[in-house]
Amino acid sequence: MEYVKFKNADVIVNNSDYLVKNPINYKNKWKELFGNNNKINLELGMGRGDFIINMAKAYPNINFIGLELNINQMVGAVQKLMKEKLPNLKLINADASEIDKIFGKEIDTIYLTFSEPWPKKRDERKRFTHESYLKLYDKIFKKDKHIILKTDNKGLFAYSLESLSQYWYVFDRISLDLHNNEIPIPNIMTDFEKKYYEEKRPIYYLEASFKN
Ligand SMILES: C[S@@+](CC[C@H](N)C(=O)[O-])C[C@H]1O[C@@H](n2cnc3c(N)ncnc32)[C@H](O)[C@@H]1O
């Protein structure tokens, strides 16, 4: 996917107090960094950050981390945060495939929001619900596993249902049209979701867990 390129994107992002530089230094120490024992929830591929920022505002007693690979995308999040004071939010510029280097068993919930669908079979391993990623998540979940996934992509959704169930996850909630659900599901929209919502495209949603 092509994104807008910013001049000095790395300077803008590196100047943000929300950015955790050298996140591997905080492996097993995220509690100390946040200064409390609250839950720590992680979004993989946060993009321009609307979801994780608004989650941090809505739930001040939960800690949130937004991880994003693309520095240009991160500029959007950093700019939105310029006038905000959210002690329960941190941002990381890293590849999701490296999360086991950044976290020990510290994470309560992982959000997979409008992740790249990687439709070609040869790219299957890059899907955030491929077994290799599920194994990676096992290394960072504190105790019970808990994944919340939202996507507009039917193929990725179907794949994720199969992959998660084969990995013994149980589905706590599933919706094939999140915004027109008979029983409303509490929801904060991502940047991509807002666009798709306006286009009236159905959003697929699942919440999966595994109790240890
Ligand atoms: C389609 S966008 C969705 C952004 C945001 N979650 C939203 O819903 O608005 C997918 C995002 O995932 C990021 N991404 C893709 N692969 C990644 C990886 N391996 N590690 C971290 N971020 C990744 C992309 O750079 C992009 O910002």
What does the pLDDT read at residue 133? 98
Residue whose structure tokens are 């996140």: 23
- CB of 159 closer than 6 angstroms to any ligand 1 atom: no
> Which amino acid is residue 164, in one-letter code?
L
What does the pLDDT read at residue 5? 81
- Integer angstrom CA distances of residue 198 from 13, 179, 186, 187: 29, 11, 18, 15
How many domains does the chain fold into? 1
Q: Give the pair of three-digit tokens for residue 208.
A: 């999966």
Please state the atom number of ligand 1 nearest to the C-alpha of residue 115.
Answer: 10
For 207, half-sphere exposure in the C-beta direction (CA atoms, 13 angstrom radius) is 8
Domain of residue 161, residue span: 9-210
Is 193 within a domain? yes
Looking at residue 191, which CATH number applies to its domain? 3.40.50.150
Q: Give the pair of three-digit tokens for residue 19.
A: 């950015």
Mutate to test the pocket of ligand 1, among 48, 73, 80, 156 (most ligand atoms within 8 A of CB): 73
CA of 67 to the centre of ligand 1 (A): 9
Is 2 within a domain? no
* Whole-model pTM over 0.85: yes
Alpha carbon 139 to its chain centroid, in Å, reads 16
Question: What torsion do the CA atoms of 134, 138, 142, 143 make, to the nearest 10 degrees?
Answer: 100
Task: Return d(Cα 200, Cα 191) in angstroms, integer.
Answer: 15
Q: pLDDT tens digits, residue range 17-74?
A: 999 999 999 999 999 999 999 999 999 999 999 999 999 999 999 999 999 999 999 9
Q: What is the distance in angstroms between the CA of the first residue and the CA of the last residue of the chain?
A: 37
Determine how β-strand 145-151 pairs with β-strand 204-210: antiparallel
- Integer angstrom CA distances of residue 210 from 136, 172, 175, 207: 15, 10, 19, 11
Weakly modelled stretches of the chain, pLDDT under 70: 1-2
- CB of 45 closer than 6 angstroms to any ligand 1 atom: yes
Is 48 within a domain? yes
Mutate to test the pocket of ligand 1, among 115, 187, 198 (most ligand atoms within 8 A of CB): 115
Is 181 within a domain? yes
- CB of 41 closer than 6 angstroms to any ligand 1 atom: no
Number of H helices, E strands in the chain: 8, 7
Reduced to 3 states (helix: H, G, I; strand: E, B; else coil), residue 104 is coil
- Strand blocks (E) in 11-155: 40-44, 63-68, 89-93, 109-113, 145-151
Q: Give the pair of three-digit tokens for residue 123.
A: 């790219």
What does the pLDDT read at residue 101? 98
- CB of 111 closer than 6 angstroms to any ligand 1 atom: no
Is 4 within a domain? no
Is 51 within a domain? yes
